[in-house]
Amino acid sequence: MDKIDDIDNFWELTTNIAISGQPAMSELELLADAGYQTIVNLGLEDAEYSLDDEESWVKQLGMVYISIPTDFKKPQSREFLRFLNSMNLQQDKKILVHCENNQRASVFVVLYLIMSDQVSQIDGWNMINEFWQPDLIWESYFYQELNNYYKIKEDLVETIN
């Protein structure tokens, strides 16, 4: 019998947040049985690695499905903002964030954990590097999103003071 740990590149980062590569249909059932309530898919829906009608399958299993297609070669800030909003709305739920190989998912989730003060920037970057060594596109994206966050935070503090 399959186990959740058998899902491609599965890693439970917190008690409520895990990341992975694309799960199979049977693995989605395992996730539902394990109490996962939300599936966030950062992969492209029409890619050859994606599941046919993953959304319907996830909903049949009683979970929330959120799709934020993110082009691996050209990630955008708007996609990360949608992700942050989704994570904040689902923060009390048990969540799996996935993509094709857990590269997009690892960067997005680690950024979320840094911004929600659950891990430091250094620890977060080290977590990502346990999975893969991001190329220039993804390293730049990581620091761009952090800089955007710190700028907004700084502006907010100035406004309050």
pLDDT tens, position by position, 22-72: 999 999 999 999 999 999 999 998 877 778 889 999 999 999 999 999 999
Which pLDDT score is estimated for 129? 95
DSSP lists the bridge partners of residue 11 as 19
DSSP lists the bridge partners of residue 96 as 18, 39
Angle between helices 121-131 and 103-115 (to 10 degrees): 170
Calpha distance 145→110 (Å, rounded): 11
Residues 6+ away with beta carbon under 8 Å from 41: 50, 54, 65, 66, 67, 68, 69, 98, 99
Residues 6+ away with beta carbon under 8 Å from 40: 66, 67, 68, 83, 86, 87, 90, 95, 96, 97, 98, 105
Return the beta strands (E) in the chain as ranges: 11-12, 17-20, 38-41, 64-67, 95-98
pLDDT digits (tens, 9 = 90+) for 90-121: 999 999 999 999 999 999 999 999 999 999 99
Domain at 67, CATH number: 3.90.190.10
Domain range for 93 is: 4-160
